[in-house]
């Protein structure tokens, strides 16, 4: 019969195991492991390459260039009468020294100074000539202030929203009314037409954000969450995301299909008057009555940076269609900015009105619309104001009803649609008869164009 195994407690077994380990390693515990020469060499090589790799590469390049120059030059013996020692000194010099007469050297110095002065003088680019614009159609039909406009991607029709709570869809070519959409219970303040789906989005002072299916002309989705009037809408160009902003000092990011409020972009301390979106960073920009512009990280739902240059409320923002830039409109002036970090470029001063809206086309014509019915046309690059117009009010309206609330260019950039306080929609086009001779550029550059922040 097998002998019974003596049972020990876990404490005893662990203690014995520790003692065995201690006895095994006691003899050489103070000794370091032997140095592996191969591993040490590899470590040194990697460290040197990591620290000085760029220097090694530069040395190799310089050596290769020197060999190439020597191969191209071929054998070149020194001219007779030159000392070998002087030649060797010249070879070792970083820049070969060539003796030149004093007169020649003085002339070279003067030429260099003159070249530096010419280089340093600031270049003032001349503005590109743009034909003037003229009013060619007035569309009446709304019974209240026309507050917003959105163009269809196919350039066939456009939609307007007004204080009469109705969204009207108009034919762009003829100006005829196609459809009236009713459903809002207060002023319609923002519209956006999807480029990816047959949807029209609208928002208003009734705190509602609606999605209309244009195949049935019916509301198919509501986006609930805003605590006050919603003033602006934007659609992301590449993903199914809707952005809205309003009087509750927030901008909200919605999943177009599920109606989920993905992010609430908080940080502004006053009404967010405008939100715009683009595919590249920053994907979302907001302008507010708290005088700031914020650039947002759409994925994180957080503010990247805040632009505080404006002194008065920012009512509109617009992206340039081809340059990676955007403009902001405020009663103090219009400012241009560079994406993605919001670098200030220049001021466009001179439109002394409350600027409600901005629009820019691919020809770099920027238009600003004022609360007093004035339209200013600018060359984007130079900031030259090449035309000023006063929108005529509809017969029977008071002059004080001249106010432009929103505007957009059509997709060709040759038609400008404005919506106004006299309850009309006005369409402007370029004057085909104008030339550079009949309408010359009257441009005098400033002596020193300062950046006024």
Q: Is 55 among the domain residues?
A: no
Check if the beta carbon of residue 198 is closer than 8 Å to that of residue 207: no
Q: Is 121 among the domain residues?
A: no
Look at the block and give the residue holding tokens 């001249």.
402
Q: Is 438 among the domain residues?
A: no
pLDDT at 57: 84
Q: Is 120 among the domain residues?
A: no
Q: What stretch of H or E contains 41?
A: helix 37-73
- What is the number of other CB atoms lying within 10 angstroms of the CB of residue 131? 20
Q: Is 333 among the domain residues?
A: yes
Q: Is 152 among the domain residues?
A: yes
Which tokens is 69 given? 């120059």
- CB under 8 Å to 399, separation ≥6 — which residues? 393
Would you list the DSSP string of 114-171?
HHHHHHHSPP-PPPPP---EEEEEEEE--SS-EEEEEE-TTSSEEEEEETTSEEEEEE
Range of the domain at 277: 136-430
pLDDT at 119: 53
| pLDDT tens digits, one per residue of 307-350 | 999 999 999 999 999 999 999 999 999 999 999 899 999 999 98
pTM of the predicted structure, to 2 decimals: 0.71
**CATH code of 273's domain:** 2.130.10.10
The domain tally of the chain equals: 1
- CB under 8 Å to 121, separation ≥6 — which residues? none
Tell me which DSSP letter residue 382 carries: T
pLDDT at 80: 54
Could you give the count of Cα atoms lying within 13 Å of 253 in the half-sphere of its Cβ?
A: 22
pLDDT at 114: 56
- What is the number of other CB atoms lying within 10 angstroms of the CB of residue 405? 21
Nearest Cα to Cα of residue 139 among 172, 115, 92: 172
d(CA 233, CA 201): 8
Q: Is 254 among the domain residues?
A: yes
Q: Is 74 among the domain residues?
A: no
| pLDDT tens digits, one per residue of 84-123 | 444 444 545 444 445 445 445 555 665 665 555 555 555 6
Average pLDDT, the chain: 86
pLDDT at 155: 92
Low-confidence stretches of the chain (pLDDT < 50) are 1, 84-89, 91, 93-97, 99-100, 102-103, 447-448, 453
């Amino acid at each position: 019969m097998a002998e019974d195994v003596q049972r020990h407690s876990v404490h005893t077994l662990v203690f014995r195991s520790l003692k065995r380990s201690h006895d095994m390693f006691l003899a050489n515990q103070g000794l370091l492991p032997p140095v592996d020469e191969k591993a040490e060499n590899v470590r040194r090589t990697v460290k040197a390459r990591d620290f000085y790799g760029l220097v090694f590469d530069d040395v190799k390049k310089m050596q290769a260039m020197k060999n190439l120059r020597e191969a191209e030059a071929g054998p070149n013996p020194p001219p007779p009468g030159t000392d070998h020692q002087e030649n060797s000194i010249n070879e070792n010099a970083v820049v070969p020294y060539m003796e030149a007469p004093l007169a020649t050297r003085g002339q070279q110095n003067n030429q260099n100074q003159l070249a530096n002065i010419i280089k340093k003088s600031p270049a003032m680019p001349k503005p590109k000539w743009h034909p003037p614009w003229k009013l060619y159609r007035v569309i009446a039909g709304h019974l209240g202030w026309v507050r917003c406009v959105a163009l269809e991607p196919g350039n066939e029709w456009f939609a307007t929203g007004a204080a009469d709570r109705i969204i009207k869809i108009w034919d762009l070519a003829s100006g005829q009314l196609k459809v009236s959409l009713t459903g809002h219970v207060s002023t319609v303040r923002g519209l956006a037409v999807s480029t990816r789906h047959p949807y029209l989005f609208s928002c208003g002072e009734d705190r509602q954000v609606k999605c209309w299916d244009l195949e049935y002309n019916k509301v198919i989705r509501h986006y609930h969450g805003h605590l006050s009037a919603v003033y602006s809408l934007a659609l992301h160009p590449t993903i199914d995301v809707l952005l809205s902003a309003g009087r509750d000092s927030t901008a909200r990011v919605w999943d177009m299909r599920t109606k989920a409020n993905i992010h609430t972009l908080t940080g502004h301390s006053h009404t967010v008057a405008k939100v715009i979106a683009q595919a590249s960073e920053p994907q979302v920009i907001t302008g507010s009555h708290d005088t700031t512009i914020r650039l947002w990280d759409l994925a994180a739902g957080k503010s990247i940076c805040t632009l505080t240059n404006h002194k008065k409320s920012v009512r509109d923002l617009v992206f340039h269609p081809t340059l990676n830039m955007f403009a902001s409109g405020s009663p103090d002036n219009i400012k241009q900015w560079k994406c993605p970090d919001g670098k200030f470029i220049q001021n466009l001063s001179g439109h002394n009105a409350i600027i409600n809206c901005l629009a820019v086309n691919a020809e770099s014509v920027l238009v600003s619309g004022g609360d007093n019915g004035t339209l200013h046309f600018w060359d984007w690059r130079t900031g030259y104001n090449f035309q000023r117009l006063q929108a005529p009010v509809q017969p029977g309206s008071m002059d004080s009803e001249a106010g432009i609330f929103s505007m957009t260019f059509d997709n060709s950039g040759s038609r400008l649609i404005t919506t106004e306080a006299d309850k009309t929609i006005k369409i402007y086009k370029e004057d085909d008869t104008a030339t550079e001779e009949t309408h010359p550029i009257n441009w005098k550059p400033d002596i020193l164009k300062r950046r006024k922040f």
